[in-house]
A and B are shown apart, each in its own frame.
Chain A
């Protein structure tokens, strides 16, 4: 048994829009089209996907905040539809880093309140609140009002609430969204510690590919309600191993000229992935077999056009490359 088991999950949202006094038009949005995966004990599974891919729907179903239309999802063997009460005792959720608490209560009071709601009392409550505050490094800010807390503190408090019952499964929706790099790093460290030291199973959604690459043991790439791939990051990278990336660095203001030269390259040979600024850095994907040849050809063309090249190198594929290749999108 896996701590989290999801099988063929489907969800369609039906909305009705009034178009006249008595007439309504129904619209259907298929948010999930048969999603299946498992999360192992002590594992961080990252759900990556563009906006509207179905990430939040998936999180809400697993958090028992939304009922699926079809399929099943189980947390520690308990069905999220039929055994909601039992599921709720075994999960900790964090759905937003910037809200979700009472502004006029302190961090400690907020945690105590939710602890009581979730069934804690007496000494156990005090202990769990203190442990949760300590786990997220907020023990010295415990008496601060929520309204006075920085976004980073709020994010940590949200994770602290998820830890109140010391649940074996954590479901976190974009736990580092909008946070500064230092706080993000702190939270990443915390999550890795929770998964690998405390053996908690963590399912998190993120837009941040860098973050996913750093902390997730496995990643599921979701797009338009389907999981396109789910594997370890190394295995996912192997899937795009038939392609390599050539990164060309050019002096400033010469990007446009370089792009003009690249225009004449056959499109099956060269694909420009992204341009920074006015294209001082150009990344081109080419089939592995043509990497050397394309590099020489590029250098030749740039020299012929008297365009200086600062550096040119072949890059290993990143998670972003995997994501782009699978979803066909240039960025999340």
Chain B
């Protein structure tokens, strides 16, 4: 099993590197997009005379949306593979469809986000010294990995449900905004109603938002950052156990209908 995981991860990395190698335009877009967003936010915040640095805002949005996008990306990938007639060939991987779909996606997530964060390094060096800039980028990348962990099982489950649904995309359209809202990524948690605040404590993304806030606004006092990470790790384990077993059932249902 361990060996198969490694093979799937390797396959995913090979795929991503090949795709970027064969599509220089895609690579350019991937690297240029964070700067375009940064530029847009810079002008926006200049007009609003906001205090937050655009650099921190971009990195914040990168960590939060980057991790939530996993949900959409894996399920969306399932739909695309189905359209291209590739899905059956993922299904015949001995470990099954949803696991292979998810595991092979992880290198894409890590590689793309590593590139997206590294692209900021030259800019950060202007604001900070090289060592601090490297630390900052490493911190953001660490958060991106952390943000991914609790969502792996959930992504599998969502991909299964999406492939089972007759109309595929509505699943994907509403889930991300709800998570973003309930985790405090769009509005601060304090302005949300108490019941939504209670739910937000169960969402791992909430902790990612808090950890990203801590990192970008240098608020780490009294081990707050560590406690956020620990809470998220505990939630991750619970989430992955539950959602992976539900995903297994979803795959069985999917096989009853046929791939």
**Which residues on A are within 8 Å of B, measured CB to CB?**
13, 57, 60, 63-67, 84-86, 88-89, 91, 93, 95-96, 99-106, 109, 112-114, 116-121, 145, 161
Instruction: Say whether B3 contacts A65, CB under 8 Å.
Output: no
| Known contacts A67-B252, A121-B10; 6 further A-B pairs (Cβ under 8 A) | A64-B91, A66-B257, A100-B88, A100-B89, A117-B104, A119-B3
Which residues on B sit within 8 Å (CB–CB) of A100?
84-86, 88-89
What is the minimal beta-carbon distance from B251 to any residue of chain A, in angstroms? 10
Q: Is B221 an interface residue (CB 8 A)?
A: no
Q: How far is the CA of A99 from the CA of B85 in the complex (A)?
A: 6
10 contacts between A and B (CB under 8 A): A63-B88, A65-B258, A66-B257, A88-B93, A99-B86, A102-B86, A109-B18, A113-B15, A113-B18, A116-B8
- B259 pairs with A117, CB closer than 8 A: no
- Chain A residue nearest to B19 (CB atoms) is A104
- What is the bound-complex CA distance between A65 and B258, given in angstroms? 6
A67 and B19 CA atoms in complex are apart in Å by 34
**Shortest beta-carbon distance, B176 to chain A, in Å?**
26
A117 B90 Cβ-Cβ under 8 A: yes
**Bound form: Cα–Cα A109–B23 in Å:** 14
Q: How far is the CB of B15 from chain A (nearest CB, A)?
A: 5
Assess the B14–A113 pair: CB atoms within 8 A: yes
B255 within 8 A of A: yes
A-B interface contact total, Cβ < 8 Å: 97
Query: Are A105's CB and B22's CB within 8 A?
Result: yes
Q: Distance (Å) between the CB of B58 and the closest chain A CB?
A: 29
Known contacts: A60-B258, A104-B23. The answer to whether A117 contacts B100 by CB under 8 A is yes
Q: Is B95 an interface residue (CB 8 A)?
A: yes
A residues in contact with B100, CB < 8 Å: 117
Instruction: Judge whether A119 and B255 touch: CB under 8 Å.
Output: no
Does A104 contact B22, Cβ atoms closer than 8 Å? Answer: yes
Which chain A residue has the least Cβ–Cβ distance from B94?
Answer: A85
Report A101 CB to chain B, min CB distance, Å: 7
Which residue in B11, B15, B92 is a CB contact (below 8 Å) of A65?
A: B92
Taking the closest CB of chain B, its distance from the CB of A62, in whole angstroms, is 11
Indicate if B131 sits at the interface (CB-CB under 8 A).
no
Nearest-neighbour CB distance to chain B for A273, whole angstroms, equals: 36
Q: Chain B residues near A91 (CB, 8 Å)?
A: 92
Query: Which residues of chain A come closer than 8 Å to B226, judged between CB atoms?
Result: none
Which residue of the partner chain B has the closest CB to A89? B94
CA distance A189 to B153 in the complex (A): 46
B18 contact set on A, CB distance < 8 A: 105, 109, 113
Name B103's closest neighbour in chain A (CB-CB).
A117
Instruction: Tell me the B67-120 residues at the A interface (CB within 8 Å).
Output: 84-86, 88-96, 100, 104
Instruction: Report whether B85 and A96 are in contact in the complex, using a CB–CB cutoff of 8 Å.
Output: yes
Q: Which residues of B contact A93 (CB under 8 A)?
A: 88-89, 92
A53 to B15, CA, bound (A): 38
**Chain B residues numbered 15-66 whose CB sits less than 8 Å from any CB in chain A:** 15, 18-19, 22-23
Q: Are B256's CB and A117's CB within 8 A?
A: no
Cα A96 to Cα B255 in complex, Å, equals 19
Q: B interface, how many residues as a size bin?
A: 20 to 34
Q: Mark B226-259, 1 if CB is under 8 A from A, else 0.
A: 0000000000000000000000000010011111
* B20 and chain A: residue at smallest CB distance: A104
Chain B residues near A113 (CB-CB < 8 A): 11, 14-15, 18
A226 to chain B, nearest CB (A): 20
CA distance A319 to B15 in the complex (A): 45
B84 touches A99 (CB 8 A): yes
Q: Report the minimum CB–CB distance from A160 to chain B (whole Å).
A: 12
B94 touches A67 (CB 8 A): no
**Interface assignment of B7: CB less than 8 Å from any CB of chain A:** yes
Cross-chain contact B259 with A101 (CB below 8 angstroms): no
* Inter-chain contact B92/A63, CB cutoff 8 Å: yes
- Distance to closest chain A CB from B112 (angstroms): 16
> Considering residues A63, A99, A117, which has the most beta carbons from chain B within 10 angstroms of its beta carbon?
A117
**Which listed residue (B7, B90, B91) contacts A121, Cβ 8 A?**
B7
Given the interface pairs A65-B259, A85-B94, A116-B14, the reply to whether A101 lies near B86 with Cβ below 8 Å is yes
Q: Shortest CB–CB separation between residue A8 and chain B, in angstroms? A: 18
Distance between Cα atoms of A250 and B186 in the complex (Å): 81
- Which residues from B are CB-within-8-Å of A118? 92-94
Shortest Cβ distance from B4 into A: residue = A119
* Chain A residue with the shortest CB-CB distance to B26: A104
Check A119 against B89 for contact (C-beta < 8 Å).
no
A117 touching B91 by the CB < 8 A rule? no
A residues within 8 A CB of B258? 13, 57, 60, 65-66
Q: Which of A67, A85, A95, A104 is the one whose CB lies under 8 Å from B255?
A: A67
Max chain A Cβ within 10 angstroms of own Cβ: one of B14, B23, B86, B92: B92
Residues of A within 8 A of B84 (CB): 99-103
- Closest Cβ of chain A to B258, distance in Å, is 4
- In whole angstroms, what is the CA distance A221 to B18 when docked? 44
B10, B22, B91: the one within 8 Å of A145 (CB): B22
- In the complex, the chain A residue whose C-beta lies closest to that of B100 is A117
Residues of A within 8 A of B90 (CB): 117
Residues on B with C-beta less than 8 A from A89 are 94
Shortest distance from the beta carbon of B85 to any chain A beta carbon, whole Å: 4
A119 touches B7 (CB 8 A): yes
Contact, CB under 8 Å: B22 / A95: no
